[in-house]
Every structure is written in C-alpha cells, then in structure tokens.
Amino acid sequence: MPDLPADEATPADRPPPRIETTAVTAGRGMSRDSLAPVLFPSTTYVVDTVAEHASMVGSARPGKLYSRFGSPSVREFEDAVAELEGAEAALASASGMGSVTGVILGLCSSGDHVVATRQVFSVTYALLAFHLPRFGIDVTFVDGTDAAAIAAAVIPGRTQVVLVETPANPALSLVDLAALGAITGPIKVVDSTFGGPTVQRPLEHGADVVLHAATKGIAGHNDALLGVIAGSAELIDAVWAWQSVMGAQASPFDAWNGIRGIRTLPARVRQQSESALQLAAFLEGHPAVSRVSYPHLPSHPQHDLARRQMATGGTVVAFEVAGGGEAATAAIEGCRVARIALSLGGPETLLTHPATIAGRYTPAERTELGITDGLIRMSVGLEHPEDLIADLSGSLAALARPS
C-alpha cells in the first residue's frame, strides 16, 4: 500500500495517543456525541424479548440487565481506567476496600496463601490479618522494600496472590515493580492509589492486576466513593463473579463523577506533583522538620527506584516534626490553607496525623512502619505552592523557636 499523505492517514498509521489525550477521549462508548459523560441512573432496563435476558444472564458483566451486575455509566468509567492503565478490562466497586476485598476473595479460596507487604493501608491490613484467616486463607507479611523477601515468601503451588502497595501509605516506601513482575506463579496485585496511571503503570512491569481507591486521585474532587481494578479480561471476569454476589457494585452516580475526574487527571497530577516536590524541598530545609519522605526527593532511600518506575514523585508528602505528637498536632492545627481530613488526591491540600488513625496497629508495628508520633501526611492540592509554603511556614515557626 502506498504511503498516505499526512492529512489522509488512518488512525492505525498514527502513533498511539499519550495519556493526556486518552484521559480526555476514553470512556465514551455510551455517551456518543455528548461531550459530558451521560448519567444512567436506572437500576434495570427493558428488553424486547426473553431471549435477550437469556443472553445477558449467560454473559459476564452485562451492561443493561440489572445494575448490580453493571451499568452503562459504570462501564464507561471502567473502560476509561482500563485504557489509562493499558489493560484489557477493568471493574469498579463501591470503594477502594470493596476492590481490595473483591480481588482477594474473588481469586482466593480456603487453603490458599497470600503474600502481602507490611506497608499497606491500615484497613487492608485488618482484612489480611484478622478476617482472611477466618476463611482459611493464610497470609504472610513481608517488608515491601525487600524484593528478595517478597519472592522468597511465595509458596509454589499454594500462594495465590501477592498483594503490594506502592507508594505505601503513609510513609511512602516503594516496592520494586520490575522485581515483583518477575515472580512467577501467583497473581500479582498492586495497589497503586498513591501513584495512579499518570505516575506509574504497574501492568507494564509485569503485575497482573492494578488496583485503585479511585475515591482519591482518579475521581479527584472528594465527591465519589469508588474502587477499581484493571487487568486481563479473564481475571476481571473472575473477580466480577464474586463481586456481583458480594454486592459491592459501584454507584452509577459515583462512576459518572469518576469519569469527569479522569478528564483532568493528568493536568491535576502534574501540578500537584510539581507542588509536592517544591514543598518537600522546603520542608527538608526547615529546622522544625526532622525527616521528609517524598519519592523524587534525592534524600528518599529509594530515590533511584522511584526515578525508574515513577514519572513523578506523586501528590503526597510525608514529614516528621521534632517534638512528637504534641508538636505534630500543633503544626497541623496551625495551618489555615491546608485542611484536616482523611482523604487524598483532591483539589484541597489535606493533612492527617497517621499515628492518630492507625489504631489497628500496635505501637511496635507503628514504629516498624515508620508511623511515628511526629509524622504528618500531606496530600498536596491545587493551591499555589507559595501559599502552601507560607501556610506551613507560619504553622511551623513556633516549633522552630528555642524554648
């Protein structure tokens, strides 16, 4: 076939779109010519024949049967996430923990074994440590920063899932995604909530499933409660079979808000990451701050790994103030631009005191995970970074003064 002129080239002749373009164009299968996502709030849909019902009942993830099995708005959100992650398919749920629970119980049975990193969200830890044993599923916890330990904990023929979180909440340690991907046998699941598809794409490193608490950065506006996993269609269908029984389906309204959030995801994360790096550098030089953790800061112990597998350092900064819990509380409560709230990834800069909300861990476990009394987690928003620096400067000033 002769070469076509540039203005007559078919899409197949053009390079694949970059992620910024994908975020704008993905998830439009049901919306057709509407630029805004279309909300399908219905719980059920009319068909013309009984045969149509029969065909849908026999298929995985039908879109217009009954919304516990799937809905058009949810499917558009799933398709958008799958395209962003380079996956065959995706499955949304009612929350991040809905997706964590769904993927573990959808893939594991009594007698199976799970390897998990110690550095995980505290509620994920509760599921793994306290609830899975009730179902006859054994769990081995390992240090996520030790790639060899993760591989060594796998029991051939018995380990069904390896679950890791990177960057890990709240101290931002990392898992080597290439080393994880090289493990053969179990299904490798990466909770990438603190990264997101514009920061890292675990499937490209050999992971089998990528998971997000999409409530956070993907939806990005603090108005949608969502979880989502992405991977091969075979794995997604297997998890869907369990999730549809469990009843953890995503709300069409939340999925609709999630699609809206995806449209601006690359631009939001780019600015938030740039601000986060600037704030991390400022905090590292402040006399009231004893330690800063941010993956793209040269002082991060896994900085080289971060540069290899993360396009940016992400939108969260962890830092420790001298003086313990009392000083951390004063620093948090002294801010006026940054707010006190539990979530992350939204337009507002949010502060949390991890030691206060880590009630599922013992003091010894908190110390092992780097959750000191003086630790503060900051989710960097879209405010001007100089305003945030001024806010933190004012809050930290009293801590830096000699008594």
* CATH code of residue 303: 3.90.1150.10
Does residue 6 form part of some domain? no
Does residue 308 form part of some domain? yes
Q: Do residue 232 and residue 279 come from a single domain?
A: no
Cα dihedral 270, 271, 276, 282 in deg (nearest 10): 130
Q: Do residue 33 and residue 144 come from a single domain?
A: yes
Q: Do residue 196 and residue 342 come from a single domain?
A: no
Does residue 3 form part of some domain? no
Burial 20-54 (b: 16+ CB within 10 A, else e): eebbbebbbebbeeeeebebbeeeebeeeeeeeee
Specify the CATH number for the domain of residue 51. 3.40.640.10
pLDDT at res. 193: 98
Two structure tokens written together for 97: 């923990």
Per-residue pLDDT tens listing for the chain (403 residues): 233 344 444 466 788 999 999 999 999 988 878 999 999 999 998 988 888 888 888 788 887 888 888 899 999 999 999 999 999 999 999 999 999 999 999 999 999 999 999 999 999 999 999 999 999 999 999 999 999 999 999 999 999 999 999 999 999 999 999 999 999 999 999 999 999 999 999 999 999 999 999 999 999 999 999 999 999 999 999 999 999 999 999 999 999 999 999 999 999 999 999 999 999 999 999 999 999 999 999 999 999 999 999 999 999 999 999 999 999 999 999 999 999 999 999 999 999 999 998 767 788 888 888 899 999 999 999 999 999 999 999 999 988 665 5
pLDDT at res. 4: 39
Q: Do residue 257 and residue 309 come from a single domain?
A: no
pLDDT at res. 9: 45
Element (H, E) at 400: helix 385-400
Q: 241 is in which domain, residue-wise?
A: 11-263
Residue 66's DSSP bridge partners are 44
Q: Do residue 192 and residue 327 come from a single domain?
A: no
Q: Do residue 208 and residue 323 come from a single domain?
A: no
Residues 6+ apart with CB under 8 A from 56: 47, 62, 64, 65
Does residue 1 form part of some domain? no
Does residue 274 form part of some domain? yes
Of the three residues 263, 279, 308, the one that is the final residue of a domain is 263
| Helical residues (DSSP H) of 225-310, grouped into ranges | 233-246, 252-263, 265-284, 303-309
Q: Do residue 45 and residue 187 come from a single domain?
A: yes
Number of domains observed in the structure of the chain: 2
Residue 269: count other Cβ atoms within 10 Å of its Cβ: 26
**What is the pairing mode between strands 159-165 and 113-117?**
parallel
Task: Give, in degrees to the nearest 5, the angle at Cα 27 between 26 and 33.
Answer: 95
Of the three residues 216, 241, 263, the one that is the final residue of a domain is 263
Give me the phi and psi of 288, to 5 degrees please. Answer: -85, -5
Do residues 242 and 282 touch, judged by C-beta distance below 8 A? no
Two structure tokens written together for 156: 């051939």
Residues 6+ apart with CB under 8 A from 279: 317, 378, 380, 385, 388, 389, 392
Q: Do residue 156 and residue 286 come from a single domain?
A: no
pLDDT at res. 11: 63
Of the three residues 229, 263, 297, the one that is the final residue of a domain is 263
**CA gap 116, 161 in Å, rounded:** 8
Q: Do residue 247 and residue 272 come from a single domain?
A: no
Q: Do residue 247 and residue 278 come from a single domain?
A: no
